[in-house]
Structure 1
């Protein structure tokens, strides 16, 4: 059997395949509705769901949610009877599985461990994800798109969330489930898993590119300049641009909202930047300190 087919048909992975199909379907459906509403708005026609006031939706919403919850419980009960996916045995300290994979919903974070220190991938980034999701209702001042799908009026929000959710979360989960094998090495769908496979990929730190020891004082200074330059530049340059091009928006948005939004955004974009540096230029760390590595 093809190794990839064997992986996706494992009982534990069937749910992930279904999730991929459902996420793809509902995403395309949502964008189709958004583009349709954009055409209606451009033509000056009313959009279903657009309402400046408040509408009581508690009773019909709870009724629908209850019906769906019951249906899902019945489906999961039937599925658990038909599909045999038992829990693994108690962990054996004398035997380490290879590959040792976290539960699928944590595989995105496990994939980040390839590119970041554990304190960043396992603590800082998950915390910022939670903080960012909590902050969205407080930093979003755009009333358009509430109650209906749209794209033109919320391009930044839609594109940013889609990139973070699909590329930096779901894609990493898919990679961890289907493309990472023994030794956490990359395996294409047509490749057999080889537990004896060894891949030599030497890496270097950023200051090593200039012939400077990354653990020396000059290497520390170079890393500090690059990291802090990225953070400060990512704050100041967009602020000056928006202040010049969109003064009314920035006046309504406020400095605090901007700082929170910018800090979350540049932190999110630092993830693909670091991944590209690792995969293309084989740069492991940008800044090495006695306390942490970036």
Structure 2
């Protein structure tokens, strides 16, 4: 699967580069010369039916020739270490290491689906429709390479080949020692801010505190994380709209720009959290377990 992904990525990019060279010479893209039309019925359906039959026969013969014995019956008293999800869910399982389960398992997958659905409505560029190109779709091409290959496929590869017992990180040739000592990764930003940087105790919520008092103490405790989050999701897009992304903001309009930039910032938050976790052992930027909110 990885080899096929690399091959088709190379194939599409090579076709895009070839089209860009033709367009620079004043010629049309290669796809413009395709005059033959293939009908869904019966042409495509017939080909897909034949392909499905051939694939089924190959899988049946393969399963008969190559032994693949089942493991021993499941024992509820013994949990496999590590317990890994199927490969196509390993990206989500890897994200659980950096985000709250509600964020990694619900919010981020929902945003991925909604973001993919919103692409046709967010992209105002009319060029590059119906043919491969890089020059006319540099932004979309870069987002695809970074978001899909650089993040999602990377998470799957890490979860498949570099996670061992206790979900610890192992090198490609490192023995999978279940007793490997790993650094603690549950340090929160509020603990860094109050205990390490200010040298004070982290504000605690008294058990007898009321609703508003409790909320005020929580907000004061998480002031560093809330400020950083607000700057990241509110101030940074506004600054970019006036500086580096000014042309994009003018071309897209206010609503589409903000939807696009917030989706991009959510995507960039994953590698940022990964780097902070690997380097500073930081778990959460904002941690409010009293209300089941962790970021």
Q: What is the TM-score of this pair, normalised by structure 2?
A: 0.82
Where does residue 241 of structure 1 map in the other structure? 243
Where structure 1 has 5 or more consecutive residues not aligned to the other structure, the ranges are 1-18
User: What secondary structure sits across from 2:243 in the alignment?
Assistant: helix
Give how far 1:240 is off. 2.4
Aligned partner of 1:137 among 91, 95, 120: 120
In the alignment, is the contact (CA less than 8 A) between 1:207 and 1:223 conserved in 2?
yes
Where does residue 35 of structure 1 map in the other structure? 17
Where does residue 160 of structure 2 map in the other structure? 177
> How many residue pairs end up in the alignment?
271
Describe the shift of the 1:134–1:39 C-alpha distance in structure 2 as closer, same or farther (beyond 3 A): same
How do residues 195-274 of structure 1 correspond to structure 2 at under 5 angstroms? 195-201=178-184, 203-212=186-195, 213=202, 217=218, 218-241=220-243, 244-245=246-247, 250=251, 253-274=252-273
Highest Rg: 1 or 2? 2
Describe the shift of the 1:268–1:208 C-alpha distance in structure 2 as closer, same or farther (beyond 3 A): same
Q: What is the TM-score of this pair, normalised by structure 1?
A: 0.82
**Superposed CA offset, 1:199-249 (max 9, x none):** 2335422233333427664331211111121111243123223674457x5
**Superposed CA offset, 1:247-287 (max 9, x none):** 7x52xx23332222112111001111111111112111111
Where does residue 151 of structure 2 map in the other structure? 168
Give how far 1:64 is off. 4.1
Describe the shift of the 1:83–1:230 C-alpha distance in structure 2 as closer, same or farther (beyond 3 A): farther
Asked whether 1:189 is paired with 2:172, we answer yes
Where does residue 98 of structure 1 map in the other structure? 81
CA distance in structure 1 between the aligned counterparts of 2:164 and 2:120, rounded to whole angstroms: 40
In the alignment, is the contact (CA less than 8 A) between 1:234 and 1:266 conserved in 2?
no
Where does residue 3 of structure 1 map in the other structure? none
In the alignment, is the contact (CA less than 8 A) between 2:91 and 2:152 conserved in 1?
yes
CA distance in structure 2 between the aligned counterparts of 1:21 and 1:208, rounded to whole angstroms: 44
CA distance in structure 2 between the aligned counterparts of 1:229 and 1:266, rounded to whole angstroms: 12
In the alignment, is the contact (CA less than 8 A) between 2:185 and 2:277 conserved in 1?
no
Where does residue 8 of structure 1 map in the other structure? none
Where structure 2 has 5 or more consecutive residues not aligned to the other structure, the ranges are 196-201, 205-216
CA distance in structure 1 between the aligned counterparts of 2:21 and 2:4, rounded to whole angstroms: 26
RMSD over equivalenced CA pairs, Å: 2.5
User: What secondary structure sits across from 1:211 in the alignment?
Assistant: helix
